[in-house]
Structure 1
């Protein structure tokens, strides 16, 4: 109960913090070259042959707060590891492995959660493995509840976030694979107590919900070696067409611009012919933004950026974008482990109907799904019940208890 109360307090703080960042105006920025990356993030000329192989690692200063007063982590490691991009090419991705200092007292060996982070931004400086050392990584507030229970955490930075190239924001396959391979990398690190026999869970909210949901779909074919016990996904952007239409012209329109820039990079699409001068400048600018820069593009309508004055919703109905958006749909592959799906009916960013439709599609394919709606305020508020329910879910899954599906209600 104490851990649950602590988690509630931490997550409430997260909600307040994130909401505050969206209400404070920030000056617009022009596109500039990013500062050189730390040498740690540069990939070697030749990558290892195995997905999840650790290329290099180093100790990391993990700060939940500036004084590190509440963190239980005593083994925090920054890693660079091999994964595979959407096209099947091997790439290097960075991430973070966190292991509590206290001994594991549960059943079996210590579980590890593949924790997919929510939107960080597009710039290399936004990577969680860099933000942790600065004490400004907001996901740390939710992760603390998992660490208090004794679970280890493996968190990817995703393709191009921290490492070379453009972050392929919202690329379903790339994000899912990076999350699964972060777990493999954690299990191969020495001195952590983790191994290939460690029970595994997947968790994420918002962009992280999409990455974790993609990962649980891909796990059986891409990472059958993992002892996967379940997944907790919240506010999943499972259908990007509906999400982009909802975001257009609103306070979080930058999310849609992140996706357009990231997916264009993943599919090697030249956006220039589809954009006017303002649109091209915006695509350059968002590549330098972190999540705390969202108001740089708040309330910008996409038709003011397009070459023909049409909104992004129409652009997505034409090739090559129509196929790209269809490729990102989540809910088409049956998860083979229990999944908890949470979504606020009051979500202002990712429509509630999108999350419910994904859960219903999984149910139709025979998956064990529990869909948990809530009435938390807005998208930010939805992370509170998501994090609280995750604690109960993991206690049951790692104890070997079955999940009772709620598919009959959908």
Structure 2
């Protein structure tokens, strides 16, 4: 069985518990570990708490990853600069690697907004659809830290697609992994960034933020797959498509990040759908339950929500998420399929042009894997050897 087909089987596996629940149930079902303390530690990346965990590749829990796994809660910062608690997972493979062992920050792709969708919970349940790309990095002998992002697992709405909170959560996860007692990882060794789709955007944001937000990290490179670098273009492609639920996720996430109640734009049906997506549905359930979701059927005035993006306050909010206006301080592998049906190929083609213009060393790699979901395998297969070369100190290739 190929890597791609195996990955798609993992994507199809979902927990029996992934059923509808009320917002009250959402709070009641949150494990105690995910409740932040009243007082947070002093520094970003400081570990608040940790516990032993497991990582299964399948929902039947037959295939357990051979690694030391610790669930963590650590301090990060939201869009406004307020300290927040974020959870995640630190994995150290039980195979030898020459010291210092590198750490890769894996920025997850779209999981959903409900707390149960947090990667740290899905990895333990054997329902994390990006399990194989994570394992592929572990198989290289590298440690991996997987953030849950702001509000995914922890209280509050997940700030989906918000550039700064996502990038900061990724960078602070590396700091937390370095500081985690018992992980036996170097506190100032080589690190890297990796992500696809939402994770590609978060990896890109982290690469752009790192020179000022986390200059002490020894980041050797960033793998960025199918990044939603231009939300205007992505939204136009998503609304009414098979992936229309992702556009709804974005409005909820950005509304949470910027303090906007999106209910004011929605009719009764729109409120019901949005709350269901926010509180109950992880990615595959959302796509199955709400396919071809068209926002014009959800609004009070019958206009598509994409029209809102052209006016205040949304126009400025969407512009603030744009990638490619800041210079990553590290080499980047930017991977995208010409046959991507979610994020238009031209979006990352432009991102590569923008970064090259700013002086970033970029390898823009095109593949022809059909569909957004399947193309993650192409990024994984190319990303690991590219990172190995960066950790080895080899000169990064450029297509600029």
TM-score normalised according to structure 1 size? 0.92
Aligned: 1:286 with 2:268 = no
- 3-state SS of 1:379 partner: coil
- 3-state SS of 1:333 partner: coil
The structural deviation recorded for 1:404 is 1.8
Aligned: 1:171 with 2:124 = no
Matches within 5 A, 1:266-281: 266-281=257-272
State the match for 1:257 in structure 2.
Answer: 248
State the match for 2:193 in structure 1.
Answer: 202
State the match for 2:65 in structure 1.
Answer: 71
Gaps in structure 1 of 5+ consecutive residues: 1-7
Matches within 5 A, 1:292-371: 292-293=284-285, 294-371=287-364
CA shift in 2, pair 1:137/1:386, >3 Å: same
Work out whether residues 10 and 128 of structure 2, in 8 Å CA contact, stay in contact via their aligned partners in 1: no
Query: Residue deviations 1:186-205, cap 9 Å, x none?
Result: 00011222122220000000
276-285 or 338-347, which deviates more:
276-285
Distance of 1:385 and 1:30 partners within structure 2: 36
Query: Residue deviations 1:165-208, cap 9 Å, x none?
Result: 00000011000000010110000011222122220000000011
CA shift in 2, pair 1:131/1:21, >3 Å: closer
Matches within 5 A, 1:68-217: 69=63, 71-73=65-67, 75-105=68-98, 108-217=99-208
Distance of 1:81 and 1:28 partners within structure 2: 29
The structural deviation recorded for 1:327 is 0.7
Work out whether residues 234 and 342 of structure 2, in 8 Å CA contact, stay in contact via their aligned partners in 1: yes
CA shift in 2, pair 1:198/1:385, >3 Å: same
Distance of 1:12 and 1:341 partners within structure 2: 23
State the match for 1:236 in structure 2.
Answer: 227
Work out whether residues 99 and 151 of structure 1, in 8 Å CA contact, stay in contact via their aligned partners in 2: yes
The structural deviation recorded for 1:21 is 7.5
CA shift in 2, pair 1:130/1:67, >3 Å: closer
State the match for 1:386 in structure 2.
Answer: 379
The structural deviation recorded for 1:17 is 4.4
Work out whether residues 101 and 186 of structure 2, in 8 Å CA contact, stay in contact via their aligned partners in 1: no
Distance of 1:115 and 1:224 partners within structure 2: 19
Distance of 2:321 and 2:284 partners within structure 1: 25
Work out whether residues 247 and 253 of structure 1, in 8 Å CA contact, stay in contact via their aligned partners in 2: yes
- 3-state SS of 1:364 partner: helix
The structural deviation recorded for 1:302 is 0.7
- 3-state SS of 1:211 partner: helix
Distance of 2:352 and 2:288 partners within structure 1: 32
Matches within 5 A, 1:386-405: 386-405=379-398
State the match for 1:5 in structure 2.
Answer: none
CA shift in 2, pair 1:30/1:48, >3 Å: closer
CA shift in 2, pair 1:32/1:46, >3 Å: closer
Distance of 2:186 and 2:380 partners within structure 1: 26
Distance of 1:31 and 1:252 partners within structure 2: 23
- 3-state SS of 1:136 partner: coil
- 3-state SS of 1:260 partner: helix
Residue from 333, 348, 368 that aligns with 1:375: 368
Work out whether residues 341 and 369 of structure 1, in 8 Å CA contact, stay in contact via their aligned partners in 2: yes
34-43 or 223-232, which deviates more:
34-43
Distance of 2:323 and 2:367 partners within structure 1: 21
Distance of 2:344 and 2:116 partners within structure 1: 29
State the match for 1:14 in structure 2.
Answer: 7
The structural deviation recorded for 1:263 is 0.5
CA shift in 2, pair 1:191/1:28, >3 Å: closer
Gaps in structure 2 of 5+ consecutive residues: none
The structural deviation recorded for 1:348 is 0.3
Work out whether residues 162 and 254 of structure 2, in 8 Å CA contact, stay in contact via their aligned partners in 1: yes
